[in-house]
Structure 1
Amino acid sequence: MGFMRRTVAELVRERWGDHRPGLWFEGRVLSHHQVTAGAAARAALLADLLPTGAEPHVGVLLDNTPEYPMWLSAAALAGAAVAGINPTRRGPELARDILHTECRVLVTERIHLPLLAGLELPGVRVLVTDTEEYADLLTAYEGARPEAGSVSPDDRLLLYFTSGSTGAPKAAICTQGRLAAAGSSLVDHFGVRPQDTHYICMPMFHGNAVIADWAPALAAGARIALRRRFSASGFLPDVRACGATYFTYVGRAVQYLLATPARPDDRDNPLRTGFGTEAGAVDAAAFEQRFGVRLVEGYGSSEGGAAIQRTPGTPAGAIGRPAPGDDLAVVDPQTRTECPAAVFGPDGLLLNGSAAIGELVNRGANPFEGYWRNPAADLARRRDGWYWTGDLFYRDRAGFLYFAGRADDRLRVDSENLAAAMIENILARYRGAAAVAVYAVPDPVAGDQVMATLAPREGVPFDPRAFAAFLAGQPDLGTKMAPRFVRIVERMPVTATNKIHRAALRRAGFRCDEPVWWRPAGEPDYRRFGPADERGLLTEYRARGREGLLPATTRG
């Protein structure tokens, strides 16, 4: 891959001798040189710990502490790869992630040791960072220098798990060359300066934090600031304390921040930019108005197969145009033909969503590097010689692309294809909601019905009449889009990466412990969904042979 000539190891070595502040964590500051020296010591330790002939893989089961970027840098120097281990995984699934990626060394901390209790991890050496034993082990390597070695741009550096609606998570491969190129690209795109500070509050076991936050900071020689775990209440105090100018986000984190009590000094912060995905136009506008910070919605397939860049003149609601060199198309996955351009009404309403929305594919060369030991998943991504992103988009006549959700979040209501993300963007305008998720539940006859889960704002009880009136007043809410079921939760369930846990919501459907309101066909108002309603619906499903489409009840 000729466009990936630099290595992350080179970027790490460039910080040797740089005594400017390089890392902020809980009020402590390390210089770039100290971070690089720590990485060199860990690289030397890793070289001694890895058995001869073993894959050079180290699992990292840590919160966002200084050890995480040091081990990323150490792996780069050693020509090894970090497998980011998700601390929300449990039991056999957690063991499977560690063993599947063939980690012979696992770096963790005492807070996560209970997760490992009772697991069978043959041949895995566990290092616990906040112990005297670990400190003593590193002492012998304190004089190590970040040697050049024989590191190649094609060496694996990351094995990061990507979630899916079915099956075990897949470990996507990212090489030193791709990560270095991604970091440099974002430096150019956002004008990152050495005096900037990148605030990393998204979990570092996920590609969002490493590729879009840590890598550009490393490439520019900027400082990083770490938050052990995302905290909405701790966000602004951290940003002010460390002087953060840039951060990455996912949409749910933005919703958490907007749900905090507003203060007169919210705009008193050093941030210039937030970069992320799925915030939605309504939340992005509210965030900028309240905090004075522009959120830039971006798109880049975690596996590297497709990217969209926001450029001047990008219309409201659009992500941008394809990155240079990418041959991106929106296609119907059934016919493999390109979808027609979007048609908008005078009020901006998408008039032909059923035809215009399709899966985004890259028909040209792309840097997708595959999954670790998963040829079936590789083939699924590379069907027909194209890279299939698994994401739904539509394109306007000028070539701008608009995100419409995940392919597995498509709904089919009365033979009309709908995208959950588009309905969510409309429901996000409802003032009584702190967060909204939309997903499909099977219809008793055919196709799907729309279900929404709503987390009300603090102190604002759900008002079914007000919600129905709100829906009636939305000009872009199509006749098939209004939720049939509305589940009310105190707090939206999220994954470890702060994305809404739609899989869990879909599994529960309308048979859950929280209150559910519904609007039966032909009725104008929402009413409580009770045991008699459930029995009646189940009778309909059985009569049409569709009861098997319903997930088992989750009620205890």
Structure 2
Amino acid sequence: MSHIGYFAWDRAAQRADAPCLRDDRLDLTYRQFAERVDAFAAQLSGHGVGRGDVVAIMLPNRAELLVALMASWRIGAAATPVNPTFTATEAEYQIADAAAVLVVNEGPDAPTGGRPTIAVDDMAASPDPDWAPGPTAGAGDLALLIYTSGSTGRPKGVMLSHENLQFMSSSMVQHFSLTADDHCLLILPLFHVNAICVSFLAPMLAGGQLSVTGRFSPARFFDDVARLRPTYFSAVPTIYALLVSQDADTDLSSLRFAVCGAAPISKELLDRAEQRFGLVIVEGYGLTEGTCASACNPPGGVRKLGTVGPALPGQTIAIVDESGAPAPMGTVGEVVIRGANVMRGYLGRPDETERTVVDGWLHTGDVGRLDEDGYLTLVDRIKDMIIRGGENIYPKEIENALATHDDVLEAAVIGAPHDVYGEVPVAYVVAYPDSPVTDDQLDDHLRDRLTKAKLPVAIHIVDALPRNPVGKIDKPGLRSRHRPAAVN
């Protein structure tokens, strides 16, 4: 069994009084973090949670979320982080699908899925002297269930083991040359695997530190950098667009590099952000199913703007044609990935797992090409996924929600270009004959069913949806309505 290097109880023995984790309320050394983990692990045990169970954690970014995560691992359980902005319907689906035995949340008004709960303010902070930890999680054990939507519109639980997480976090340490001197400023949500791996587990493994910021704003970001002096952060293109639009005159010299992922960034924005901040920004690419990242430009090596870099250590990226055969170098095809980062599968969905992981190769559904140096350029997406400010939004989920309205005959949702968010969802709806539904009524209908980020920015009521020769809805035709007009 391979060694897992990021466990708090092991790191405390080596780093003890070194700074580890802070947010607006707490500032913890490695020893104090481990004590908090043990305190909550004992509390979870007292609630009957044990090896092989799943704990749902529905909290905004704060230190206690990471305490709850690590405490679950302390007793051999797994965790499923739940988006704290989810509606009750969305949250309860995930809690039930994951078969969570307990929910950690913000209090009595938060969704529970009918499970026992521990409110964040009731989390034990002092270790129980009578509690002795039993077997902790091992390399092959399930560590995380991260939920990601699929083409069916029903979110799927991606099963990631500690082996997956150890491989990814150690790869991040190697690729970014992280040491105990590094300090990450966390601004991405912790219900994503990116934030867990890049911003939490990697610095834990390196013996560095993590500062968890509150709700993101450009002013808050610049203040935090000036006050905390972090050495790196990871963000999405939307955040870089917001930052470069500010006139702030902040000393950013502590930052060694920054990471951009979750959505493609334009060469122009990347270059503008680097020039504006005098900072190396490396673009990367990955999927939840691949435990976060599979390719990334190197901070200290050759960076090719417009690419997402070469494969990370220990991974192989290839391009295949429609038949699944390897495509010649420079040819466009589907991006497939192989390595110890590939997920164990989708929870309870063996057929979808088999379609996605074939002979050890993760089929991404993304289209790209590799150059002679192995640098990957993403060309398009096979799937219809919309990436709004780094958030993955699947049109089918919105279409399904629209279809629950009695007056909706059919709906199509596409991504429209947006200056700040990259893409935003736009809906086209056909109503039943003699059903005079309005866009405002449909908007109200969706608000109880979808997170705010998934709500269409516009709902167009139309007589009919365009179709291609085989009768399928012509989504490319709908998207073309939103492209900027050509300038002669």
8 Å CA contact retained: 1:300, 1:307: yes
Instruction: State the Cα distance separating 1:545 from its structure 2 match.
Output: 9.2
Point out which structure has higher relative CO (alpha carbons under 8 A, 6+ apart).
2
Aligned to 1:307: 294
Specify which of 317, 323, 331 is matched with residue 320 of structure 2.
331
Q: Describe the shift of the 1:317–1:144 C-alpha distance in structure 2 as closer, same or farther (beyond 3 A).
A: farther
8 Å CA contact retained: 2:6, 2:201: no
Aligned to 2:120: 129
Matches within 5 A, 1:155-554: 155-259=141-245, 261-263=246-248, 265-277=249-261, 278-304=264-290, 307-311=294-298, 312-332=301-321, 334-342=322-330, 356-362=331-337, 367-383=342-358, 386-409=361-384, 452-455=416-419, 492=421, 502=424, 504-505=425-426, 541=466
Q: Describe the shift of the 1:384–1:38 C-alpha distance in structure 2 as closer, same or farther (beyond 3 A).
A: closer
Aligned to 1:45: 43
Aligned to 2:4: 7
8 Å CA contact retained: 2:61, 2:190: yes
Q: Describe the shift of the 1:41–1:396 C-alpha distance in structure 2 as closer, same or farther (beyond 3 A).
A: same
Amino acid at match of 1:322: A
Amino acid at match of 1:126: T
8 Å CA contact retained: 1:266, 1:290: no
Q: Describe the shift of the 1:451–1:202 C-alpha distance in structure 2 as closer, same or farther (beyond 3 A).
A: closer
8 Å CA contact retained: 1:41, 1:143: no
Aligned to 1:98: 95
Instruction: State the Cα distance separating 1:364 from its structure 2 match.
Output: 7.0
Secondary structure of 1:14's partner?
helix
Matched, 1:68 2:65: yes
Matched, 1:149 2:149: no
8 Å CA contact retained: 1:341, 1:394: yes
Aligned to 1:348: none
Length-normalised TM-score, structure 1: 0.67
Amino acid at match of 1:321: P
Amino acid at match of 1:33: R
8 Å CA contact retained: 2:334, 2:367: yes
Distance in 1 (alpha carbons) for counterparts of 2:28 and 2:465: 64
Instruction: State the Cα distance separating 1:362 from its structure 2 match.
Output: 3.0
8 Å CA contact retained: 2:63, 2:212: yes
8 Å CA contact retained: 2:319, 2:327: yes
Secondary structure of 1:505's partner?
strand
Matched, 1:88 2:76: no
Q: Describe the shift of the 1:341–1:512 C-alpha distance in structure 2 as closer, same or farther (beyond 3 A).
A: farther
Aligned to 1:531: none
Distance in 2 (alpha carbons) for counterparts of 1:310 and 1:146: 44
Distance in 2 (alpha carbons) for counterparts of 1:546 and 1:129: 51
Aligned to 1:520: none
Q: Describe the shift of the 1:142–1:544 C-alpha distance in structure 2 as closer, same or farther (beyond 3 A).
A: same
Instruction: State the Cα distance separating 1:141 from its structure 2 match.
Output: 3.8
Q: Describe the shift of the 1:239–1:544 C-alpha distance in structure 2 as closer, same or farther (beyond 3 A).
A: same
Secondary structure of 1:192's partner?
coil
Secondary structure of 1:321's partner?
coil
8 Å CA contact retained: 2:319, 2:326: yes
Instruction: State the Cα distance separating 1:191 from its structure 2 match.
Output: 1.7
Aligned to 2:406: none
Distance in 1 (alpha carbons) for counterparts of 2:39 and 2:61: 19
Distance in 2 (alpha carbons) for counterparts of 1:144 and 1:285: 57
Distance in 1 (alpha carbons) for counterparts of 2:340 and 2:136: 27
8 Å CA contact retained: 1:36, 1:146: no
Secondary structure of 1:408's partner?
coil
8 Å CA contact retained: 2:164, 2:340: no
8 Å CA contact retained: 1:246, 1:272: yes
Q: Describe the shift of the 1:540–1:326 C-alpha distance in structure 2 as closer, same or farther (beyond 3 A).
A: closer
Q: Which moved more, 1:368-377 or 1:35-44?
A: 368-377
Deviations 1:20-62 (A, max 9, x none): 222221274222211110001111111221357x842111000
Q: Describe the shift of the 1:96–1:452 C-alpha distance in structure 2 as closer, same or farther (beyond 3 A).
A: closer
Q: Describe the shift of the 1:255–1:190 C-alpha distance in structure 2 as closer, same or farther (beyond 3 A).
A: same
Specify which of 30, 33, 39 is matched with residue 32 of structure 1.
30
Distance in 2 (alpha carbons) for counterparts of 1:545 and 1:378: 28
> Looking at CA atoms only, which structure, 1 or 2, has the larger radius of gyration?
1
Distance in 1 (alpha carbons) for counterparts of 2:348 and 2:415: 37
Amino acid at match of 1:390: G
Secondary structure of 1:240's partner?
helix
8 Å CA contact retained: 1:284, 1:294: no
Pairwise CA RMSD: 3.9
Amino acid at match of 2:288: S
Q: Describe the shift of the 1:358–1:115 C-alpha distance in structure 2 as closer, same or farther (beyond 3 A).
A: farther
Structure 1: segments with no counterpart, 5+ residues: 343-355, 411-419, 425-433, 441-447, 456-490, 493-499, 514-533
Distance in 2 (alpha carbons) for counterparts of 1:266 and 1:290: 11
Q: Describe the shift of the 1:191–1:512 C-alpha distance in structure 2 as closer, same or farther (beyond 3 A).
A: farther
Amino acid at match of 1:57: V
Distance in 2 (alpha carbons) for counterparts of 1:148 and 1:8: 18
Distance in 1 (alpha carbons) for counterparts of 2:319 and 2:467: 38
Q: Describe the shift of the 1:144–1:506 C-alpha distance in structure 2 as closer, same or farther (beyond 3 A).
A: farther
Distance in 2 (alpha carbons) for counterparts of 1:276 and 1:404: 17
Q: How many matched pairs?
A: 428
Instruction: State the Cα distance separating 1:128 from its structure 2 match.
Output: 0.8
Distance in 2 (alpha carbons) for counterparts of 1:543 and 1:396: 34
Amino acid at match of 1:271: L
Amino acid at match of 1:274: A
Secondary structure of 1:293's partner?
coil
Distance in 2 (alpha carbons) for counterparts of 1:6 and 1:326: 20
Distance in 2 (alpha carbons) for counterparts of 1:78 and 1:165: 35
Instruction: State the Cα distance separating 1:542 from its structure 2 match.
Output: 8.4
8 Å CA contact retained: 1:90, 1:115: no
8 Å CA contact retained: 2:146, 2:288: no
